[in-house]
Amino acid sequence: MLVAAALCPCPPLLVPQVAAGAAPELDAARAACADALGVLAAARTDLLVVVGPAEQSGRGPHPQGTPGSFRGFGVDLDVRLGPGQGTAYDRTLPPSLAVAGWLLERTRWADAPIEGLGVGEPLAPERCVEAGREIGARRERVGLLVMGDASACRTVKAPGYLDERAAPFDAGVARALGSADVAALKALDPGLAYELKASGRAPWQVLAGAAENAGLTGTLLYEDAPYGVGYMVAAWS
């Protein structure tokens, strides 16, 4: 059963070495992510599943220790998804899970076995929910680290330019994440999320499936759009 979840944004800019001189702009988001992971650690889970958006080639499962890198962003920095040794892995982490690996390393996570799951943007809501149900049933005390961004259309300088639908969409997501509203997450429109370039839609709906009947409560720890992209951090317990 799902007993706790941390929800974090997944821009590589969350990693200070990638952000370079702009790193201080996301200090508050980094601090909120650390707080959310603290909630996960306090829950004493016996399995942590990390879920994040991925392209076809980056989908999971990714076992503990799977390597990732930020070299594609011009930074000589490697990470792993939790403690692991050796190089016998048949794939590398997609960027969202590499950011998760960095967060886990930063907080020195060592509380439970870890595995990663990359989910593709086209995955239908009902399939996301079913995947979440399967995750929630795997252990007595399951934790989720859910990576994903809201819309990328909040300003004219945003990656998707300005879309007037973006702010209301993000406000709805923030309410759902902050109140652990499973029904609202299930109801997110995949077509609208795609048009608004919201990478978190599928991972959030995986969370919704895992959280069914779990009785969790939520707290929104951070919400902002510093680059015209909605970044949110929440903790469920």
pLDDT score, position 88? 54
The mean pLDDT value for 99-115 works out to 89
pLDDT score, position 213? 92
Q: How does residue 222 score in pLDDT terms, banded at 50, 70 and 90?
A: very high
Say if residue 21's pLDDT is above 90: no
The mean pLDDT value for 64-90 works out to 84
**106 class by beta-carbon count within 10 Å (0-12 exposed, 13-18 middle, 19+ buried):** middle
Say if residue 127's pLDDT is above 80: yes
Structure tokens at 155: 């300003």
Chain mean pLDDT for the chain: 94
What is the three-class DSSP state of 218? strand
Tell the CATH topology of 2-236: Protocatechuate 4,5-dioxygenase; Chain B (3.40.830)
Whole-model pTM?
A: 0.95
Query: Residue ranges per domain, the chain?
Result: 2-236
208 DSSP assignment: H
**216 class by beta-carbon count within 10 Å (0-12 exposed, 13-18 middle, 19+ buried):** middle
Say if residue 210's pLDDT is above 80: yes
Which residue has 């403690």 as its token pair? 83
